[in-house]
Structure 1
Amino acid sequence: MEDHDSCPVCFENFVMPKLLPCKHTFCLRCLKDYCDQQKTVSNKLTATDKDSNNAMDKSAIICPLCRNMCTIPKKGFQDLFTNYFVQISKPSKICEICVQENISTYCTTCFKYKCKVCFRQYDHRKKTSGKTEVTEDDRPNPRLPFHLMFIDGIRTEYICELTKTFQLDVPPNEKGKRWIYSVVASKKGGAYVLPQTVPFVLKFGSNTDLLGKIRTPDPCTCIIELKNGDLLGIFRRSRLILRYVCGGWSHFATTLDYFPYGLAELSDSKIVVCGPSAFPSGDIKEDEIYGIVRMYSESGDALGEIEKKDKENSFLSPSLAVSNKRSKTFAISDQKRLCVTIYHENGDELTTYNGGTSMFNLPMNLFGLQPQGIFQPIEMCCSQAGNFFISCTDGTLHVLDQYGKIMGVALTNCPDGFGTLTDVAVDIDGNIWCSNSEFGTIKLFRHVRYKNHLKSGFILP
């Protein structure tokens, strides 16, 4: 019997080591991948040469080391003997799906360590013909959070299902966290991901494969893809906005009087940038704090500032900017005012959405209770259909139409919803990208069904 310290296929410590009849040991996943590869090669050979005898027995596998033919048990590789005499890789103590709960089992189909909740909810085991398959319509709908029941105008509950989960392969910071600054959808499919600890912009495809990396001079905190294909990125620490074109970064604008947090491109190629004002060191009074929303030309020249109608409710900390080029509108999120304001591209203020906070406080205050459902926007994006998506601390996504009117709320059966520290992006394929900014985890959701509360027309996201 072999006593290797690592698997001969993946060269890592063994995970579920299985012993072939020839006495060679391999990871369970490596055996399955190798067998699938053998079948693919065999099918190609038989397709090119009909008289060939290269067709491989489906119940056997050629050992990657000794090349002997080994029989596969009827129930698959998991029925082979487990070799406990080799060095086995110690699994992470955290579930690979939710990255929060302690693991309880190892799925032999998707090869992930899972907690009890995730294993029960996303069970990939093959179903036998004798069992009844559960359809999407049979699954229970997630419940609308209590505080959202007081919001007038919610017409639709968009039920979303988790399709993929992965964690960024980046080093943690000094506190052991893998922070993600932002996730932004790409016009060519997939999304850009901005990690905190590496000076790169990561480009992922819709299948979550890493397609490329773009080196940055400093950590990039926000990025957008322009109509001409260039990238425009914010470097908050340096108060710079840089343009990426032809493989290099060039100067676009310097923001000396404020810290740039969010930016968006309008239909006429103008750029909107927002952020809190930058004060010199010293004590700052509360009434002196304000935010800036500034318009720039395509070449980076400052054109003027956007102001609110009500001067008493001027911007305090505008941190997010999202544009809707179809309706020529854009949204600004103020994390101190706890609201999202919709503007026309000409600068006219259209409406302000506060998540129904005032409606919710009234019934709670009648009972002398502290409100727990205060609207706190974390991240925003705009879908291909022209709807604004706003991620909130309650784990839901508020869906607004192009002019800021509430259409509905997106819900999911995941234990933590879409997440509590969630960036959100909707790509051209309809995938909803949500990231747990603290743990470096990214989840992909799909809209699968809806509950409509009013028989009127609406646009699905």
Structure 2
Amino acid sequence: MDSEDDASTCSICFDSFLHPKLLSCRHTFCKPCLQDYTKKVEVSEIVCPLCRQKHILDDRGLDGLLDNYFVPLRPPESPSVHCCEICYVEVLEINPCKHCVVKFCDSCKSSHDLALKMAGELKDSDLESDGCDEDDESEDGGGISLSRLIHFHEHNSGTKLIVKFLSSFKVPCEASRSEEHMTVACIFPKSENTCLVIYEQMPEMIECTIRGRPFVRKTFSEGISGITKTSEGKILFSNCADSAIFQMVDESRISVFAKCYSFRPLSLSTFKDGRIACTGIAKNDHQYRVRRSHSQGALQIFDKTGKSLNEFSKVGHEFSLKRPICVSVNPQNDTVCVADIESNQVLIMTDEGYVIRKYKGRGGDERSMGLRLSIDIFLPSSLCHDPEGNLVVASLADGSLHLLLPNGDLCGFIETKNQSSFGNPNSLCFDYQNRLWIGDHRNGKIKIFEVMSFKNSFHHTAH
């Protein structure tokens, strides 16, 4: 640890200082850290954990040590935040509506109550008793948000995966000219406690922890998008602008792993035997996440040396890949799962291009639930596998997360414990601690959730 790090962090907890105390040897430590440390030694003296110099304490103990006012202090713990399911604004308090179980910020709740009252669905007495506490919801029968009701209605899925919100942060992107609209293009686990993050159309690959900071940046050329890791542990990343896949030789050097001559690579994933799956779109489609007519996409498979083995643009005789923006290889059975956002479906394929299953979300009549919806509800923007081979699919249209079994059957949906929204999920990743990282399409934020439990909600029937 260099002198700059010594001056900015406590050498016991390796974090910013909390109630910094200065020893006579000029080493500074957090007071709580020293309290834990002195439990093992005589109360009348303390030995510096760094230089081992002894210091005599007076009757006041650690309180008698000088406070160091010249070191950075640890920021206060951020209060837990919730997201309004209408405007997606983060607020400290959320207001659930008993009438339709959607949760609002104060502004949206007032407008919502007024609309219900004018429609005759809500009386003044209902408004007075509507301010229920979130704890009033039973753990087994909590409310479901509107987007979840659209999916669960008349559907026999048997499971909800309950996740707990852990943290939320926005990575400052130094190359961005404007942070008003930033899209998280890819998240990929690097170590036990860090993930790599790429923003759309940005040249930076940023390593961050579950709390965000510290941020470790690597800058390449603009257009980097997907990330995966070789069987030897080397990082690969695609660059749609260069139509190539690059390999990080070490922390400072890269080399070309493979060239994609017929399409722009967007997403990468690795087979158990080291082969690489890559999806992308035709070179004339520059805005690759915008839905356009007559788009053309491809799935290409490379061996572990970067040699092309197969390329699929047509699936069977009747279907062409249109805009396959995300690919994930099942870690259990090596099936290839592709999210085609323009054809509104997820394809589960073999490595030879044979389609095993197509998942299209909900049908129009079933999902409308009596509501007149004119949008395509299912827009698969990202997908990833958990260690057991289950597939999580994000739908950008309504912010829902679909949970599929390895064979492609719908198992259920993912929800938070307090029913808060996932926002606009554009990238998904399970880290090595099985925590779910979600990158937003609009505001560039990353939210991290911990898997809590499974909850059976409906009786399952074969279909």
TM-score, structure 1 length as denominator? 0.69
- Structure 2 stretches lacking a partner, 5+ long: 1-6, 9-15, 22-28, 46-56, 71-75, 94-103, 107-132, 287-291
1:315 maps to 2:321: yes
CA contact (8 A) 2:230 2:304 kept: no
Cα separation, 2, equivalents of 1:280 and 1:377? 19
* Structure 2 counterpart SS, 1:351: strand
* Structure 2 counterpart SS, 1:311: coil
Partner of 1:302: 308
Partner of 1:18: none
Q: How many residues align?
A: 374
* Shift of residue 133, structure 1, vs aligned partner: 12
Cα separation, 2, equivalents of 1:237 and 1:361? 38
Q: Which amino acid aligns with 2:209?
A: G
Q: 1:437 to 1:59 in 2, by over 3 A?
A: farther
CA contact (8 A) 1:160 1:449 kept: yes
Q: Output aligned runs, 1:399-418, within 5 Å.
A: 399-412=403-416, 417-418=421-422
Between 1:297-306 and 1:231-240, the stretch displaced more is 297-306
* Structure 2 counterpart SS, 1:337: coil
Q: 1:213 to 1:102 in 2, by over 3 A?
A: closer
Cα separation, 1, equivalents of 2:302 and 2:237? 14
1:428 maps to 2:432: yes
Partner of 1:225: 229
Question: What percent of counterpart residues are identical?
Answer: 16
Partner of 2:378: 375
Q: 1:31 to 1:380 in 2, by over 3 A?
A: closer
CA contact (8 A) 1:223 1:231 kept: yes
Cα separation, 2, equivalents of 1:220 and 1:446? 28
Q: Which amino acid aligns with 1:386?
A: G
* Shift of residue 277, structure 1, vs aligned partner: 1.6
Partner of 1:141: 142
Q: 1:192 to 1:454 in 2, by over 3 A?
A: same
Cα separation, 2, equivalents of 1:133 and 1:390? 28
RMSD: 4.0
* Structure 1 counterpart SS, 2:150: helix
Q: 1:378 to 1:414 in 2, by over 3 A?
A: farther
- Structure 1 stretches lacking a partner, 5+ long: 1-8, 11-29, 67-77, 79-94, 106-114, 118-131, 457-461
Once the two structures are superposed, what CA deviation does each residue of 1:87-120 show, in whole Å capped at 9, x if it has no partner?
xxxxxxxx97759538789xxxxxxxxx977xxx
Cα separation, 1, equivalents of 2:458 and 2:367? 25
Q: 1:397 to 1:361 in 2, by over 3 A?
A: closer
Select the residue among 90, 101, 107 that pairs with 2:89. Answer: 101
Partner of 1:243: 247
Q: 1:345 to 1:136 in 2, by over 3 A?
A: farther
Q: 1:220 to 1:151 in 2, by over 3 A?
A: farther
Cα separation, 2, equivalents of 1:396 and 1:402? 19
* Structure 1 counterpart SS, 2:34: helix
Q: Output aligned runs, 1:301-380, within 5 Å.
A: 301-306=307-312, 309-358=315-364, 360=366, 369-372=372-375, 374-380=377-383
Q: 1:344 to 1:189 in 2, by over 3 A?
A: farther
1:269 maps to 2:271: no
TM-score, structure 2 length as denominator? 0.69
1:389 maps to 2:395: no
CA contact (8 A) 2:83 2:91 kept: no
Q: Output aligned runs, 1:18-97, within 5 Å.
A: 33-34=19-20, 37-45=30-38, 47-52=40-45, 53=57, 63-64=67-68
Cα separation, 1, equivalents of 2:135 and 2:81? 24
* Shift of residue 187, structure 1, vs aligned partner: 5.8
Q: 1:336 to 1:246 in 2, by over 3 A?
A: same
* Shift of residue 389, structure 1, vs aligned partner: 0.8
